Amino acid sequence: MEKITCFKAYDVRGRVPDQLNEDIARRIGRAYAEVIKPRQVVVGHDIRLTSEAIKGALVAGLLEQGVDVYDIGLSGTEEIYFATSHAGMDGGIAVTASHNPKDYNGMKFVREESKPISGDTGLFDIQAIAEKNEFEPASRPGQLHTLDTSEAYIQHLLSYVDVSTLKPLKIVVDAGNGGAGRVVDLLEPHLPFEFIKLHHEPDGNFPNGVPNPLVVENRTATIAAVREHGADLGLGWDGDFDRCFFFDEHGEFIEGYYVVGLLAEAFLKRQGPARVVHDPRLVWNTIDIVEALGGEAVQSKTGHAFIKERMRLENAVYGGEMSAHHYFRDFAYCDSGMIPWLLVTALVSDAQQGLSTLVARRMAAYPCSGEINRTIENPAVVLARAEETYREQAETIEHVDGLSMVLGDWRFNLRMSNTEPVVRLNVESRGDPALMQAKTKELLALIDAT
């Protein structure tokens, strides 16, 4: 039995053609049909050069198993989430590798109501059946349809803001030659904004590098354009635009942690006390904002499948990860890279202040290191050594996701990557940037010495 190596904790990602190819994609389609047992499934693909062929093989597998397939064509992952819930489908599959290298591809899966499918909820069952590669064909093949939900999707996005109150902002948008530019163009006629468009056309060759603004070098063009044009803010996305990144009016990159607090505050002020879900990497700012507005901050393990499951359990109005994933109850509890920036433009319009001013107080109250990655041979040993080093000083120790420790006016989270030999460090303090910087340096020395 052939081992399929492209299945990860909550999606499929692998190098084409050795880890993922048309044969494997067809088998995944058939296995998805056997595990989920859908009647109707939405599919779509991102801008990668191999995506249409991989999607075609996936569709062939679904059709063989009697599933009716509704193809929405070139799309972002969130458009699959929207189409699945909006059209009442039994599942959805996005063919995408997001911010992975250009010779990679992958898939993200949901079931009815856009509920996530992870390793805990059926993904590894799909893997096992695809590896076994023994299928009983359906009594009748499924039928292939095209589906266009773009107008309903755009109207849903616009429902998060009162367009009449928006100011005529100047906004730099850098799609990184991914898929976000198409949706910006669909939104543009409805909004009073002037868009300065960078790397706007979809191009799976990624002539300006793989779209991922978490890579510092990928921010240069956006920063320069914000400053050159005197823009009110800058925006960037990854390839399938399920993550959104912000730059203030000075071209400064805003850590996703502070955007989580900003959006949590916006929802609670609008809707009253509610639950907000957050990841455990950086937490104090979010908890402070949510509790001050009468809400409840709920911690979840990092990762889109885990956040969505916890949001459904808590009926949370909003969920945010510092990695720039933002989740919304009214968006089938799914993540969107479009809703966040619309909400932020509304906040900037209402406050008549720059984005830098909106986050400055929170950044001063809870300075943070941002996520720092280190590639090491044995991440588990590093976590064990860090816990041993700080155990006696710690007020609290948690293992929700990696290791989180509170030590007076500072805390840290150290976690292992799900997919590579990497540890990820985040440090924050209460109003003391020097303390945060010193402890970050101290922890990095511990990591490098292990």
What CATH number is associated with residue 119?
A: 3.40.120.10
302 is a domain residue: yes
Structural domain contains residue 436: yes
Q: How many domains does the chain have?
A: 4
Residues 116 and 17 both lie in one domain = yes
pLDDT in tens, 362-404: 999 999 999 999 999 889 999 999 999 999 999 999 999 999 9
Beta strands across the sheet bearing 68-74:
12-15, 104-111, 91-95, 40-45, 68-74, 144-146
Which of 217, 232, 252 corresponds to the end of one domain? Answer: 252
Q: Which domain holds residue 322?
A: 256-335
* The amino acid at 147: L
Residues 435 and 381 in one domain: yes
Q: How far from each other are the two terminal CA atoms of the chain, in whole angstroms?
A: 39
Q: Do 95 and 223 share a domain, yes or no? A: no
| Residue 156 falls inside a structural domain | no
Q: What percent of the chain has pLDDT over 90?
A: 94
**Token representation of residue 347:** 């906040």
Same domain, 213 and 265: no
Tell whether 89 and 26 lie within a shared domain. Answer: yes
Helix (H, G, I), strand (E, B) or coil at 418: coil
Rounded percentage of the chain residues whose pLDDT exceeds 70: 99
Using alpha carbons, select from 204, 203, 186 the residue that is nearest to residue 195: 186
Instruction: Look up the CATH number of the domain holding residue 400.
Output: 3.30.310.50
Q: 380 and 326 in one domain? A: no
Helix, strand, or coil (residue 421): coil
Report whether 280 contacts 256 (CB < 8 A): no
- If you average pLDDT over residues 147-152, what whole number do you get? 98
Cis peptide before 17 (omega within 30 of 0): yes
- Considering the domain boundaries, does residue 90 fall inside one? yes
pLDDT at residue 303 in the model: 87
**Position 160 in a domain:** no
Out of 201, 225, 252, pick the residue that ends a domain: 252
Output the pLDDT for position 418: 67
Residues 19 and 127 in one domain: yes
pLDDT in tens, 422-433: 999 999 999 999
Residues 306 and 424 in one domain: no
Claim to verify: residue 145 and residue 18 sit in the same structural domain = yes
CA distances from 343 to 103, 118, 159, 163, 240 (A): 34, 29, 10, 11, 20
Last residue of a domain, one of 231, 252, 273: 252
Same domain, yes or no: 41 and 85:
yes
In a domain, 238, yes or no: yes
Residue 150 catalytic?
A: no
Query: Has residue 340 been placed in a domain?
Result: no
Q: Note whether residue 358 is domain-resident.
A: no
- Which pLDDT does position 417 carry in this prediction? 82
- 405: closest CA among 375, 377, 376, 385? 385
DSSP states of 236-266: EE-TT--SEEEE-TTSPEEPHHHHHHHHHHH
Do 261 and 244 fall within a single domain?
A: no
Active-site annotation holder among 98, 114, 336, 369: 98
pLDDT band at 419 (very low <50, low <70, confident <90, very high): low
16 and 141 fall within a common domain: yes
Q: What predicted TM-score, i.e. pTM, was given to this entire model?
A: 0.96
